[in-house]
Amino acid sequence: MSTLLKPKTAAELRDLYVRQEMMPTIFCDGCGLGNVLNYTLWALDELQVDLNQVVFVSGIGCSSRLSGYVNSDGMHTTHGRALSFASGIKAANPNLTVIVFTGDGDGAGIGGNHLLHTIRRNMDLTVILVNNFIYGMTGGQSAPTTPIGGISSTTPYGNVEYAMDICALAMALEAPYVARWTVNQPYPPIKSIAQGIAKRGFALIEMLVPCPTAYGGRNGLKGVERIWQWYRDNTVLLDDFEHIMEFGTHEEQEEIKHKIKVGVLQDSERECFDEQWAKLVERVKL
């Protein structure tokens, strides 16, 4: 996999792709969003995409600030609505590469209905959904992804709601490309983001990132090392999961049963909205 990638340093990527006037970022120490930006720029570099033909769209929240850091056309929209704006851009000009940065609250909470229908429509978008289990920008309120029992500023006695599996939703709606990775696995997400951009149709890359400030501290995961370790302990590679479930012992199966599966979860082909629409226009245009 690494042979695919051009060895560029983070500083080189920054000079090539980052809007310098926007530096430094607003992110806290230990936040995983900088990593996600780095992986995304690396993927763009890998594909050698013409940045003049890329639009980064985002909603509201920490992750949605990412769009401003990339030196391309960008649209920082309203809370939860990034996919609506992105759909308008892509439908009106299918030649543009449209990449969406969103978060768990933005993309799956307030924007859940748009997520559902943008996938159903199979808009040719690459959606990098950064899941940190919390509403970070507003100071750590519970999100639709906060684990049950999790402590947040609005679940001070523990969260009584179940967390949603965003990738499972996308898979059920037959999104052509669905992958989930954590920030402490740098190379696979770079490859997935590149695959997502190259894929004609809806691509979801869910990135599990630490929020030491608003989530970690309240949940016994103070400090970057402990929260990264949590991701190592609580995730399992899809290939390993399948192998163990088929060949592993009962104990091994019990151990991984409730872990978060990471990997390329779905990779298929399905004609996207703009292809369908172009065919319709060809059929009926006067």
Residue of 28, 93, 239, 245 interacting with other proteins (CB under 8 A): 93
Residue 148 vs 278, nearer CB to other proteins: 278
Smallest separation, CB 125 to other proteins (Å): 11
Q: Does 277 bind other proteins (CB under 8 A)?
A: yes
Residue 2, amino acid: S
Q: How far is the CB of 214 from other proteins (least distance, A)?
A: 20
The site map against other proteins for 51-70 (x = CB under 8 A) is xxx-x-x---------xx--
Rounded least distance, CB 118 to other proteins, Å: 8
Options 16, 22, 168, 245; binder of other proteins; rule CB under 8 A:
22
Residue 281 touching other proteins (CB under 8 A): yes
Q: Interacting stretch for other proteins, rule CB under 8 A, among 71-79, 126-134, 221-229, 236-244?
A: 71-79
For other proteins, the binding residues in 35-54 under the rule CB under 8 A are 51-53
Rounded Cα distance between 273 and 259, Å, is 34
249 binds other proteins (CB under 8 A): no
Size of the site for other proteins (CB under 8 A): 43
Contact call for residue 113 and other proteins (CB under 8 A): yes
Cα 127 to Cα 17: distance, rounded to the nearest angstrom: 19
**Is 108 near other proteins (CB under 8 A)?**
no
Regarding 21 and contact with other proteins (CB under 8 A), the answer is yes
Tell me which of 5, 8, 88, 171 binds other proteins, using CB under 8 A.
88
Please report, as ranges, the residues that interact with other proteins according to CB under 8 A.
Answer: 19, 21-22, 51-53, 55, 57, 67-68, 71-78, 81, 83-93, 95-96, 113-114, 116-117, 273, 277, 280-281, 284-286
